[in-house]
Structure 1
Amino acid sequence: MDHLPILPILIPMLAAVLMLLPPVANSLERQRVVAFIALLGLVGVTIELLIISLSGSIQIYQLGNWQAPYGIVLVVDRLAILMVLLTGVLALGALLYSTAGDDRGGVFFYPLFMLQVMGISGAFFTGDIFNLFVFFEVLLLASYALLIHAGGKQKTQASLHYLILNLIGSSLFLFALGILYGTLGTLNIADMALKVRELPEAEQQLARIGGLLLLIVFGLKSAMFPLHFWLTKTYSSASAPVAALFAIMTKVGIYSIWRIHTVVFGHHAGELANLIQPWLWPAAILTISAGTLGALASQSLRQLVSNLVIVSVGTMLSAVAINTVQATTAGLYYLIHSTLVTGALFLLADAIAEQRGKASDRFVRARRMTSSLPLGIAFAIGILSMTGLPPFSGFVGKVLVLQSSVGAAQMAWVWGAVLIASLMSVIAASRGGSTLFWRISSETNEKKIIAKPKLFAIYFLLSASPLLVIFGGQVSDFTSQAALQLYQLGVQPELLLPTTPSLGSPE
C-alpha cells in the first residue's frame, strides 16, 4: 500500500520494457495481452488511490529517501488521481479499437503506446517542475513515433511540424526553468510557492518572466490561441487510436496551468499573484473563436472533431481565467467530458472513413455505409454532447462553466463566446452529419461490417456522456473537492513539504 503512488508510472514503463523482450516482442497477440493487463492494473491502482483520497489525505511519495525539495517527489492529490484515472480509461478505449487491425501498421506500437501513458501519468503526479519537463519529453518522444504509425506522406509532414514546434516549446521550458531556479533556488512546486511570497522586489520581474514563459509552454501544449494551429493537422493525420489517446494531451497543458499558476502564482503570491489572468482572458475567448471558425470551415469529420477540441480548450481556459473554486470545479467536469467524448469521435471518424471507401470521412457524397445505423447513433450522441446540447454531459459542463462566470468582470464575454460557439458548432456538425449519412450516391457499398472491437470501443468511451449526467452529482462533488484541495495547497503549500524523510514511501 505504501508504494501505490509510484505504480501508475512503473506499470506502463515495465510493460513497455517487457514488450521489447522475447517472447512477448515476437508476438503481437502477446503484446496486446500485456498492454491490456497493464492498463487494467493502472486503472485498478488509480481507483484504489482515489478511494484513499476520499478521506482528504494527500500522499507525498519521496524517491530514494531524499527530503523535499531536493529529491524527486510525487504528489498524489485528488486532481492528479482524477487525471491519471481519466488517462487510463481513455487508453483502454483506444487500445481496444487498435486490436481490430490498427496496431499492425508499424512496429513497436504497443511499447510506444505504454511509454506515452507513462509520460502522461508522470506529468500528472510529479511534484516539481523539472520532472514535469522530463515527463513531457517522455510523452512527446513516444508521440512523435506514434504519429507516423502506419506511415504516409501526410503523417510524416504533420509529424515534422509537430516535432519542430515541440522542440521550440521544450527550449522555452528550459529557459523558464533556468530563470525560476536562478531566482527562487528551487523547482519543487510547494517550495516555489513559499519562496515566491518572500521574493525581493528586485527579483520579481525575473520570476514574472519565468512564469509567463511557462504560460507560453503550457499554452502550446494545450493548443491555446495563437499557439493552436498545429493541432488540427496533427490530430487529423494520426491513426485513430493515437488520435484518441492524444485527446488527453491538450489537458496536460491545461492541468499544468492549473497546478503551477494556482499553487505557485495564485492568490497568495504577493506581487506576483494571478500573474497570468490578464493574458489568459483574451487567449481563452480567442481560442474559442478560432476553434469555432475552424469547425465551420472543416472539410472532414476528423478536422471538425479537431476544431471542436480547440473550442473545448478555450472553454476550459475560460474556467481557469475565472480563477475560483466554482470555476475550477466546472472546468474539471467539462475536462472529463471533453476528453472521453472527443476520443470516441476520433475513433468514430476512422470507422466512418473505413465504411465510405475513397470518400473517407470527407464531407462529400459517397456510397451508403453498411453499418450506418450504429455509426449514426454514435455520431448523434457524440456531436450532441460536444456541441453542448441536452441531455448529454457537454450541456451540463457548459452550464456549470457559465454559472461559475456569474459576477466575473468578463461574464458577458464568456457567455457570448460559449453560446455562439455552441450554435456555430451545431451548424457545422449538422452540415457534416447530413452529408455523411444522407447524401448517398446510387452506388451500393461493399458489405463492410465494422469490427466488433471498434464498435465496442466507440460506445465504451461515448457511454461516459450519459453516465456523467446520471452520476453528475457524485462527479461534481469529487471535482469540487479536487478544486478545493488545489486552492488549499495554494494557501498552505507547506502541506506538500513533509519534515521527515521517507524511504520511498508516502508521508
Structure 2
Amino acid sequence: MIDLIVAPIVVPAVVAAFLILVMRHDLAGQRAVSIGATVLSLGIAVWLYVAASGGDPMSYRLGNWPAPFGIVLVLDRLSATMLLLTALLAVAVVIYALAGWDARGRHFHPLFQFQLMGLNGAFLTGDVFNLFVFFEIMLIASYGLLLHGGGERRLRAGFHYVAINLVGSTLFLFAVGLIYAVTGTLNMADLANKVGNVAAGDEALLRVGALLLLLVFALKAALVPLQWWLPSAYAAAAGPVAALFMMMTKVGAYSIVRVYTVIFGAGAGAAADIAAPWVMPAALATLVLGAIGVLASTTLLGLVGFSIVWSMGSLLLAIGLFDQGGLSAGLYYLLHSTMSGAVLFLVADLVATERGRHADRLVAAPASPRLPLLAALFFVAAIAMTGMPPLSGFVGKLLILDAVWDRPLGTASWVVLLGTSLVVIVGYARAGSTLFWKTELRRTAPARTAAAPSITVPAAVVVGLLAATVLLSVFAGPVARELDATARQTLDVGAYVGAVSPAAVAESGRGRP
C-alpha cells in the first residue's frame, strides 16, 4: 500500500506523456484518457486519505535509498488532505472543460496532467530541492494553460506571470543553496535535526535562506506586497484554468506551513519561528488591499481575482499563528476558499460568454434567458466567498476569529477581518446588481439567430462545487474535528522525522508534543 504514495505523481506524468506522444491530434481520445486518469487520481487520493487518517505519517523512498541520500515522499494527514482537494477540483475542472473549452487551443489535457503532477509532487515531497522541482513543473504547465486559447490579453498577462515567477524561482535557488551550504542537506526531516546545531558563524546565512524561502512562498500565496500579479493573471486565464489555479496559491500556503513547522519551528535554534513575526502583519495588509481591489474592480473577473487575494489574507491570518487552533481554522478556510473561488471563476466565465460583447465588464447589458440561472449561481457563490451565513465561509470566518481572539494581534485581526468582509460584501452586491438586476431596465436583446451553446454540463459542475460548500457547512463539526487532528499531527515534528528516518528521531530525542 505504501507504493501508492508515488501514484499521484506517476499517473499524471505517464498520462501526459502518452497524450503528447500517441494522441496529439485526437481530441476525443485525449478527453477520454484525461477524464479517466483524473477520476483514477481521485480514487487514489481517497485511498491515501483513508490510509493517512489511520495512524502516523508514512514515507516512500524512491529507489529504496535511505534518507537523506535519496528522494523521499511523505504522506501524512496534511498532504493527503491537499491531494484529495486537488483531485476533487481537478475532476470538476476537466468535466467543465469537456464542454468545449479544451478545443480552443492545443495540448490542454497534457498540460492539465502535468499541472496535477506538479501540484501533487509539491504536497508529497519531503525534500526542499524537490519542492523546487515540483514548483517548476507546476509553473511551466501553468504558463501553457494561462496562454491556452491565445489572445493579446493572455499573452500580456502571461509575460508578466512568467517574469515574476522566474524571479521567484531564482530566489528559491538562492535560498536552497544557502541552506545546503550551512547544513549539508535539503531533506526536511534531516534539516529538522540539523538547523538547531548550525555553527554560530553560519547562523546569519541560515536565517537569510529561511527568509528568502518565506519570500518565495509569500509570492506563490499572493501575500502583500507580492500579490499584484494574481488579479491580472487569473483574470486573463479562461474560467476552468483560473479555477484550477486556485490550488497554486494553496501550494504557497502549504509550503509555509510545512517548512516553518518542520524545519524552522521551535527547535530551529537561531532560526526558530522565523516566519511568525512576518506572516500575520502581511496577512492583515493583504486583507485590506484585497478588499479595496474588490470594491474598485470594473470587471467580474477582476473582482473575483481580488477576492482571492482577500481570502488568502484570511487564510494566512490563521496559519500565521503557527499553533493547533490557527492551523485547524486555516485548513477549514482553505477547503472553503478553494471551492468557492473555483465556483466564482467558472460562473464569471459563463457570465462573460452569455453577455457577448459586454463580457464580464460591470456595466448594464441586455437581458438574456439564461441570466436568471447565472444570477442564482452567482448569488450563492458570493454568499460563500464573502462569509455570510449559513455557508462555509461564515463558519470558516468564525473559526479564524476564535483562533486569533487572545493573540497579540487579536483585536486588530477582528477589526480588519470584519471590516474588510463588509467592504467585500458591498463589492459583490454592486457587481451582482449591475450584472443581473440592471439588465432588466434595458431593452431585451434580439432573439438569437443560432442555437446558443448548451451550458448544462458547466452549470452542473458549478452546482456540484456549490453543493460541496454546502456540505462543508452542514458537516462543519466532523470536518473541523478531522482538521483538528490534521493540525495536531502536522505540528508533531517528531512523528514526521520518525517516518522518514527513525534513527534520526531517536538520536535527537524528539517526541510527541
TM-score category (smaller protein): over 0.9
Q: What are the residue-to-residue correspondences of 1:67-82 with 2, within 5 Å?
A: 67-82=66-81
Task: Choose 29-38 or 173-182, whichever is displaced more.
Answer: 29-38
Q: What are the residue-to-residue correspondences of 1:462-501 with 2, within 5 Å?
A: 462-489=466-493, 493-499=497-503
Counterpart-to-counterpart distance in 2, 1:445 and 1:110: 37
State the Cα distance separating 1:493 from its structure 2 match. 2.8
Q: Structure 1 residues 138 and 394 mapped into 2: Cα distance closer, same or farther (>3 Å)?
A: same
Q: Could you tell me which runs of 5 or more consecutive residues in structure 1 were left unpaired when the two chains were aligned.
A: 501-507
Q: 1:8 — aligned with what?
A: 8
Deviation track 1:52-109 (CA, whole Å, cap 9, x = no partner) reads 1122221100001111011100000000010011111111111111111110111111
Q: Indicate if the aligned counterparts of 2:368 and 2:444 stay in contact, CA closer than 8 A.
A: no
Q: 1:243 — aligned with what?
A: 242
Counterpart-to-counterpart distance in 2, 1:449 and 1:203: 63
Q: 2:509 — aligned with what?
A: none
Read off the aligned partner of 2:445 and give its amino acid letter.
T
Counterpart-to-counterpart distance in 2, 1:109 and 1:53: 32
* TM-score normalised by the chain length of structure 1: 0.96
Q: What are the residue-to-residue correspondences of 1:93-242 with 2, within 5 Å?
A: 93-242=92-241
**Match status 1:437 vs 2:441:** no
Counterpart-to-counterpart distance in 2, 1:112 and 1:263: 32
**Match status 1:298 vs 2:297:** yes
Q: What are the residue-to-residue correspondences of 1:373-412 with 2, within 5 Å?
A: 373-412=372-411
Read off the aligned partner of 1:149 and give its amino acid letter.
H
RMSD across aligned positions (CA)? 1.4
Q: Which runs of 4+ in 1 moved over 4 A?
A: none
Q: 1:503 — aligned with what?
A: none
Q: Indicate if the aligned counterparts of 2:185 and 2:191 stay in contact, CA closer than 8 A.
A: yes
Q: Could you tell me which runs of 5 or more consecutive residues in structure 2 were left unpaired when the two chains were aligned.
A: 505-513
Counterpart-to-counterpart distance in 1, 2:2 and 2:256: 29
Counterpart-to-counterpart distance in 2, 1:202 and 1:166: 32
Read off the aligned partner of 1:172 and give its amino acid letter.
L
Counterpart-to-counterpart distance in 2, 1:54 and 1:145: 36
Deviation track 1:360-404 (CA, whole Å, cap 9, x = no partner) reads 111101011321232112111110010000000000001001100
Q: Structure 1 residues 494 and 3 mapped into 2: Cα distance closer, same or farther (>3 Å)?
A: closer
Q: 1:333 — aligned with what?
A: 332
State the Cα distance separating 1:200 from its structure 2 match. 2.3
State the Cα distance separating 1:3 from its structure 2 match. 1.1
Counterpart-to-counterpart distance in 1, 2:132 and 2:339: 25
Read off the aligned partner of 2:4 and give its amino acid letter.
L
SS in 2 for 1:20: helix
Which of 455, 459, 464 does residue 455 from structure 1 map onto?
Answer: 459
Q: Structure 1 residues 232 and 490 mapped into 2: Cα distance closer, same or farther (>3 Å)?
A: farther
State the Cα distance separating 1:446 from its structure 2 match. 4.2
Deviation track 1:105-135 (CA, whole Å, cap 9, x = no partner) reads 1111100011001100000000000000000
Percent identical residues: 42
SS in 1 for 2:59: strand
Read off the aligned partner of 1:103 and give its amino acid letter.
D
Counterpart-to-counterpart distance in 1, 2:368 and 2:197: 65
Q: Structure 1 residues 490 and 305 mapped into 2: Cα distance closer, same or farther (>3 Å)?
A: farther
Q: Indicate if the aligned counterparts of 1:127 and 1:188 stay in contact, CA closer than 8 A.
A: yes
Counterpart-to-counterpart distance in 2, 1:278 and 1:474: 32
Q: Indicate if the aligned counterparts of 1:367 and 1:445 stay in contact, CA closer than 8 A.
A: no
Read off the aligned partner of 1:98 and give its amino acid letter.
A
Counterpart-to-counterpart distance in 1, 2:494 and 2:207: 17
Q: Indicate if the aligned counterparts of 2:223 and 2:313 stay in contact, CA closer than 8 A.
A: yes
Q: Indicate if the aligned counterparts of 2:364 and 2:434 stay in contact, CA closer than 8 A.
A: yes
Q: 1:66 — aligned with what?
A: 65
SS in 1 for 2:21: coil
Q: Indicate if the aligned counterparts of 1:351 and 1:450 stay in contact, CA closer than 8 A.
A: no
Counterpart-to-counterpart distance in 2, 1:496 and 1:193: 11
* TM-score normalised by the chain length of structure 2: 0.95
Counterpart-to-counterpart distance in 2, 1:498 and 1:488: 14
Counterpart-to-counterpart distance in 2, 1:353 and 1:315: 28
Q: Structure 1 residues 315 and 289 mapped into 2: Cα distance closer, same or farther (>3 Å)?
A: same
Highest RCO, 1 vs 2 (Cα 8 Å, sep ≥ 6): 1
SS in 2 for 1:51: helix
Counterpart-to-counterpart distance in 2, 1:421 and 1:87: 28
